[in-house]
Amino acid sequence: MARRQSSTPSAEIVQDYTENIVDIDVTSEMEGSFLEYAYSVIYSRALPDARDGLKPVQRRILYMMSDMGLRPDRGHVKSARVVGEVMGKLHPHGDTAIYDAMVRMAQDFSLRLPLIDGHGNFGSLDDGPAAPRYTEARLAAAALTMTDHLDEDVVDFVPNYDNQLTQPDVLPAAFPNLLVNGATGIAVGMATNMAPHNLVEVISAARHLIANPDATLEDIMRFVPGPDLPTGGRIVGLDGIRDAYAGGRGSFKTRAKVEVEQLSARRTGLVVTELPYMVGPEKVIEKIKDAVNSKKLTGISDIVDLTDRKHGLRLVIELKNGFNPNAVLQQLYRYSPMEDSFGINNVTLVDGQPQTLGLLQLLTVYVDHRLNVVRRRTAFRLGKKKDRLHLVEGLLIAIVDIDEVIQIIRSSDEASAARERLMSIYDLSEIQANYILELRLRQLTKYSRIELEKEQDELRREIEELEAILGSDQLLRDLVSGELAEIAEKYGTPRRTVLLESEAVSPTVAAAAAGDLGKAGVKGKAVPLALEIADDPCWAILTASGQIARTSNQDSLAESGPRSKHDVFRSVVKTSARGEIAAVTSQGRMLRIQVVDMPVLPPMSGLPNLAGGVPARDFITLLKGETLVAFAPLDEVLAFGTAQGVIKRVQPDYPLNREDWDAIALKDKDTVVGVAPAGDDTDLVFLTRQAQLLRFSAGSVRPQGRTAGGMAGIKLASGDQVIFFGAVAPGDDAAVVVTISGTDGALPGTAPGAAKVTAFSEYPAKGRATGGVRAHRFLKGEDTLLQAWAGHGPAKASSLAGVARSLPQEHGRRDGSGIPLSQAVEAIGPSMTWAEPETQDARTEEA
């Protein structure tokens, strides 16, 4: 194997070599190179153009997709194919940057009006998109308006990076994309961050500016009051928005949309349905958990993400009992991304120079651009129409003597000679003569003089309209304004973001959260609230339909007025928000209830709206066949009355370590029909189905222990049973007895009935264990009492005379019969409510 011999340069070559070293100033070189780099980043990458609101990469993606024919009525193609086309022909940068820009234009949570219709996983607020080989895309319908009429010389085209192709310098942009979709970008020494807006509002402002070029910022803000974020939410405080609209810089706070809901009978929660712009649910959950673990947040028991595609975002934050939901919400705003700040920095390119513009300036730049686009489009169409008219006029000249024209062409030696002869004989231009020469024989069949003359008239009319537009600035503005109106009607959607002037708290939410509905009318800025619900006085309510709730609005209990249907009280107990009461069941059980767990009734004028309660069965556990009879205080002597006439008074020595216990030992088939606080001077009342009423003093009943079975209360006849047991406060002159009679076994409404109201003082007190006195005389066809009540009278009849005026006098005697039920309802039902004396805790149903 031969050895390789290294050769050395000859002396002549060494002598011919001349060293050339250039001394430069490093500072100047760095400044120049850095300025070139900064300009490239600012102009070619990071900042959007104020006319179409697009960065170069976004503009190139839309243009290339339009050039590829990826319209909304055609199928999707792989995103990788689009990225490759854009990178190879127009954008010689990394494919990652192109795909990221493409993904953002397809995300409905990033853009208010997405420009790309993506198919596949284009990411979420918490996760990135799939690789471009897995996703597919095509242009969205709105993107067509951005690229329409590019073939009509509406914008300038510039060479691409290798001067082999051309690309538009700016897109026609049929709607103000920069304001509608916003923009974000970081350049060298500057950055831009613009909030999205509502399409209808922005176009309304642009049309107003077109019609009134001298409009002020205040005029424009009548149409655009603030940003409209894709994810909704609430914007709190508009001062920063006004600053940004005036000078191009400002900031505002965005908050999540949160509602206080009753998740279950005992559990209250905060339900989040909208989050601040660009904040994802997983980030919120993570921050909340971190704040709870670090003891910054208290009162939260759990957080569940129930978000799905059908119902959208739904975060359920469960609260511990006894905590003020509104106070917890204020903590969440402070320690979690449920409140975020958005800084507006309207830096855009205007004629290639970065400028910070306000709302009026941004709209002005867009309107000027759109006027220029439509003007150039009109001029292009006018030229095309004139060229076609010129050809049609030549055809009309030639078609009159088409046979001679054909003969001239056939007899000519070459095309140039034929052209010259046609031009000289028929006085045609060179363009007209060439067009006639290029016609094929088969095309002559479709030409007729009438059709050509009709086309000529239509072309002249269109040319006249186009010339009028070019000759009148007002017509041009009207045309642009009309096109904008069509865009708004086609693609406009209602506003999603709520604008709040200040940090005002909904009065209903604040009052309900604080357990004080009486202050629901207070307005103003949000003030720090106590985290835990205060132990304020309130009333626990049980309704006739089995709904339970609490209210702190004392006026609503005492105020008279017509009741809503089914809004009737069965039991009302005065307590406190963090106190305890007992629920008494038909089987003699008492259950300890935490008042703070009970739902708060929403405020309304007059009586509380009982629809805000929850069913008793959802709140407490009842046995089979067991019903809830009444609420009772735990610190007073209670009297129990049963269906078999048994009476029992119980001392308040209930077990402290149990949640439920038996308060009376019942006989077989016996049930509790009523329970009421009973001091020694209280009158106890039994009413039976056979219309017997027994009134006796509670002092005659010796209090017994919890395991006792009670003693005889009223002596019942064979087949009779108690339907009402209650207590009447001493000295209550307005107490009345209400009885409703009917037929036993008849279906409701199929048999006549009678109603009667009698003063309670009409009934004498009798001894315990006696049969009592007659309370209602049955008429023909009546054999039983359907309903009975004894207690405080109607609020609008403060005296017995008021009750007597409501019903005929002959029916006021205690042993008399009633009047027809329909007349009784007409007399007292619609106009009277049952008032509550200070010492009485039971409330009646209306007849």
Token pair of 754 as six digits:
């009678």
CB 140 within 8 A of CB 119: no
Structure tokens that stand for 479 in this block: 């045309």
- Name the nearest CA neighbour of 673 among 574, 789, 764, 757: 789
Residues in CB range of 809: below 8 A, 6 or more apart: none
**β-pairing, 711-712 with 646-650?**
antiparallel
- Do residues 317 and 309 make contact, with C-beta atoms less than 8 angstroms apart? no
Q: What are phi and psi of 821, to 5 degrees?
A: -60, -40
In angstroms, the CA 650 to CA 677 distance is 10
Tokens of 43: 């102009």
Q: Please, what is the end-to-end C-alpha distance for the chain in angstroms?
A: 125
Question: Beta strand pairing status for 580-585 and 589-594?
Answer: antiparallel
**H helix intervals, 545-662:** 554-558, 616-619
By DSSP bridging, strand 722-728 and strand 136-139 are unpaired
Distance CA 70, CA 62 (A): 10
Is 134 marked active-site?
yes
Compute the distance between CA of residue 79 and CA of residue 150 in angstroms, rounded to an integer: 23
Residue that is written with structure tokens 């403060």 in the block: 798
How far apart CA 114 and CA 61 sit, in angstroms, is 14
Question: What token pair was written down for 25?
Answer: 């100033």
| Tokens describing residue 101 | 């820009």
Strand partners, 571: 542
Q: Between helices 359-399 and 402-411, what is the axis angle to 10°?
A: 80
Single out the residue of 463, 462, 442, 460 nearest to residue 452, CA to CA: 460
Question: What are the tokens at 807?
Answer: 């019903």
Tracing tokens 């895309």 back to the chain, one arrives at 137
Tokens of 259: 């509602």
Residue 422 CA to residue 429 CA, distance in Å, equals: 9
Instruction: Answer yes or no: are the C-beta atoms of 581 and 634 closer than 8 Å.
Output: yes
Give the β-pairing of 614-615 and 784-792.
unpaired
**Rounded-to-integer distance, Cα 194 and Cα 250, Å:** 10
Look at the chain and count its residues.
Answer: 847
Q: Which two tokens stand for residue 125?
A: 């607020």
Choose among 844, 836, 758, 754: nearest CA to 803: 758
Query: CA–CA distance from 688 to each of 86, 265, 461, 691, 790 (Å)?
Result: 91, 35, 97, 5, 12
DSSP annotation of 760 = G
Q: How far is CA 292 from CA 266, 303, 653, in A?
A: 22, 11, 40
- Report the candidate in 334, 359, 443, 434 with the shortest Cα–Cα distance to residue 394: 434
CA distance 119 to 104: 13
Q: Alpha-carbon distance 222 to 224, whole Å?
A: 6
Tokens 């249907």, located at residue: 565
139, 158 in Cβ contact below 8 A?
A: no
User: Considering 39, 134, 161, 277, which one is annotated as catalytic?
Assistant: 134
User: 46, 32 in Cβ contact below 8 A?
Assistant: no
Q: Which residues are catalytic?
A: 134
